[in-house]
Chains A and B, each alone.
Chain A
Amino acid sequence: MKKIRKWPAIYLALIFIILYAPILYLIFYSFNSGGTMYQFEGFTLDWYRELLTDTRLLIIVLNTVIIALLSAAISTIIGVAGALAIAYARKRRVKNTLLSLNNVLIVSPDVIIGASFLILFTMIGLKLGFVSVLLAHIAFSVPIVVLMVLPKIEEMSTSMIYAAMDLGASRFDVLTKVILPYITPGIFAGFFMALTYSLDDFAVTFFVTGNGFTTLSVEIYSLARRGVSLNINALSALLFLFTIILVAGYYFITKRNEKPNGMGVRQ
């Protein structure tokens, strides 16, 4: 038995090592005073110092965060409305059509989304920059929010809504006092996913951003095309830290939400 047990552990460990090695490699060399990614000469924090005094980069970081927060918030609103629309569509055909249209942007390759949005924005005469990037990010985040919220609405028992209505709740009350509180975990999950999608996006932004406006991903791409520079390493170390904090937060939120649900509403 012991012999069989050992191989899985080794395999999993190997996968974990491979998954994390590149990231740790990056972070390790961010402390290298040598300026290359292969010869560690000595410990330094210079790259971090340089990063934090680089106003251009800080503005780009700020842009990225603003775009992410704004697009996540707006797409959450549209997405929740969309999930409600899909869930409460009366005809099965309408529902299925909406769902397939919803999934188009999820399965579409980024290049297609980027290229088609570029055509769209040019057609309507929108100047490429902050607004076009924001619109694009909202557009591709909406379907993810819908997919995160929809199961929550569908698992909700309809008798709760009937009960509320029997007790004299208006439709608005039903929405704000029954449905929305129930689907809040889904809404949070959707918002969070939208946030990460926006922060992570490169390809779509690359297409629809003009000359004046850049997000972090696009900036990293143009830096990386010029070759190795340890600024990027320092940046990635900070981003990694940030991601871990974000994920830990998300994990604890969902953990907390899961428990009462799992016991209360058993399907």
Chain B
Amino acid sequence: MRTNSRNFYLIPYVLWIALFVVTPLLLVLYYSFFDIEGHFTLENYRKFFTPVYLKMTLSSFWYAFLITLFSLLIAYPTAYLLTKTKHKQLWLLLIILPSWINLLLKAYAFLGIFGTYGAANSFLEALGIGGRQILFTDFSFIFVSVYIFLPFMILPIFNSLDELNPTLLDASNDLGGSSWVTFKRVIFPLTLDGVKAGCQIVFIPALSLFMLTRLIAGNRVITLGTAIEQHFLVTQDWGMGSTIAVFLIIAMVFIMVLTGRRKRGIL
């Protein structure tokens, strides 16, 4: 490949990186040092460390954690069972299909289902539990989020399960490993990369979704994303919004390091 040294493909691509990757991030950092009147200040950072913002950050992380956890708990068995089916690629496609439906429409569907007279309440009444307020609660927020993120969690786990060499399972069986031991010692460690990738794909957006908190949680839940949107588009306090964005970026980098994928198993 040495003959191909003049790498002129670089030009448009590097331009893109400079303009749309590096510059915006620097601009966010830059704006975080200005208050709403355009004066240079560290006030935004001081404000971020007041209990109001810290509590919001904490609760945002807590919700994201719950969403990721439930997604993982539901997605892993699903991915595992999918790899066992015939025509698994087709089934996988059918699982992924809902994720291509516009997210807003899915959220909107839950406005109907979880509404006061919606299907969920009729179901509860039929069971004899009785109707209750479902929409605009923590439950509805987490349920809808898990619903939306589920395909994104299933996909990487499915891929890593699919790559798993079946002879390893036979080996484990032959050596007397029960199915639980095989799962714990062979399958799960070897698919950890998929799990990590899935967690990364779910956790970061879960920290920052703002339309769900608005539509489903009825502003009860305020995530980092909601706060940023609020500051940028409602109160027009770009400085504070940028400061929160800076912390969201830091959190994001931290999560990526934590779930960093090392391609160890593949050699």
Residues in chain A within 8 A of chain B (CB atoms): 8, 11-12, 15-16, 18-23, 25-26, 29, 36-39, 77-78, 81-82, 84-85, 88-90, 98, 101-102, 104-105, 107-120, 123, 135, 139, 142, 146, 158, 161, 165, 171, 196, 199-200, 202-203, 206-207, 216-217, 220-221, 224-225, 227-228, 232, 235-236, 239-240, 243-244, 246-247, 251
Contacting pair B111 A224 (CB below 8 A): yes
Which of B's residues lie within 8 Å of A, judged by CB? Answer: 1-5, 7, 9-14, 16-17, 19-25, 27-28, 31, 74, 77-78, 81-82, 84-85, 90-91, 93-95, 97-98, 100-113, 115, 117-119, 122, 147, 150-151, 200, 204-205, 207-211, 214-215, 224-225, 228-229, 232-233, 238, 241-242, 245, 248-249, 252, 256
Flag if A37 contacts B207 (CB, 8 Å): no
28 A-B pairs (CB sep. < 8 Å): A8-B84, A11-B81, A16-B94, A18-B147, A25-B109, A26-B105, A81-B9, A81-B13, A84-B9, A85-B7, A98-B17, A104-B25, A109-B248, A109-B252, A111-B224, A111-B225, A111-B229, A112-B245, A115-B28, A120-B27, A161-B1, A202-B103, A203-B225, A207-B232, A224-B111, A227-B111, A228-B115, A239-B102
When C-beta atoms are compared, the residue in chain A nearest to B109 turns out to be A22
Contacts of A142 in B (CB 8 A): 13, 16, 20
- Tell me the dominant secondary structure on chain A's binding face: helix
Within 8 Å CB of B241, what residues of A? 115
Closest Cβ of chain A to B152, distance in Å, is 12
Find out whether the CB atom of A111 lies under 8 angstroms from the CB atom of B210: yes
**A232 interface neighbour in B14, B105, B232, Cβ under 8 Å:** B105
Nearest B residue to A12, CB-CB: B81
Shortest distance from the beta carbon of A247 to any chain B beta carbon, whole Å:
6
**Contact partners of A240 in chain B: CB under 8 A:** 101
A112 touching B5 by the CB < 8 A rule?
no
Task: Please give, as numbers and ranges, the residues of chain A lying within 8 Å of B22 by CB-CB distance.
Answer: 101
B1 touching A158, Cβ below 8 Å = yes
**Docked-complex contact B20 and A105, CB < 8 angstroms:** yes
The answer to whether B104 and A224 have CB atoms under 8 Å apart is: yes
Q: Which residue of B lies closest to A5 (CB)?
A: B84
Write the nearest CB–CB distance from B156 to chain A, whole angstroms.
13
Bound Cα distance from A20 to B97, whole angstroms: 9
Query: Do residues B108 and A111 form an inter-chain contact, with CB atoms below 8 A?
Result: no
Chain A nearest CB, measured from B260 CB (Å): 11
Among A228, A243, A251, contact of B101 (Cβ-Cβ < 8 Å):
A243
Q: Which residues of B contact A15 (CB under 8 A)?
A: 74, 78, 95, 150
Q: Contact: B211 with A78, CB < 8 Å?
A: no
A78: shortest Cβ distance to chain B, in Å?
5
A102 to B108, CA, bound (A): 33
A167 to B100, CA, bound (A): 45
Report the 9 A-B pairs with minimum CB-CB distance, sorted nearest first.
A37-B112, A116-B24, A109-B208, A82-B13, A22-B109, A139-B20, A38-B117, A84-B9, A85-B9
B24 and A117 within 8 A (CB): yes
Q: How far is the CB of A186 from chain B (nearest CB, A)?
A: 15
* Known A-B contacts A112-B249, A158-B1, A228-B115; A220 and B102 likewise in contact (beta carbons under 8 Å): yes
Q: How far apart are A128's CB and chain B's nearest CB, in angstroms? A: 12
The CA of A91 and the CA of B6, in the complex, are separated in Å by 13
Contact status of A116 and B28, CB under 8 A, knowing A202-B211, A224-B107: yes
Query: CB-nearest residue of chain B relative to A224?
Result: B108
A242 CA to B49 CA, complexed, in Å: 47
Question: Which residues on B sit within 8 Å (CB–CB) of A81?
Answer: 9-13
Residues of A near B115 (CB, < 8 A) are 37-38, 228
Q: How far is the CA of A135 from the CA of B209 in the complex (A)?
A: 22
Q: Is the CB of B104 within 8 A of A78?
A: no
A221 to B233: give the CA distance in the assembly, Å.
15
Residue of B with least CB distance to A77: B12
Q: Please state if B100 and A247 are interface contacts (CB–CB under 8 Å).
A: yes
In the bound assembly, the distance between CA atoms of A66 and B209 in angstroms comes to: 26
Q: Is the CB of A228 within 8 A of B111?
A: yes
Task: Tell me the complex Cα distance, A227–B111, Å.
Answer: 8
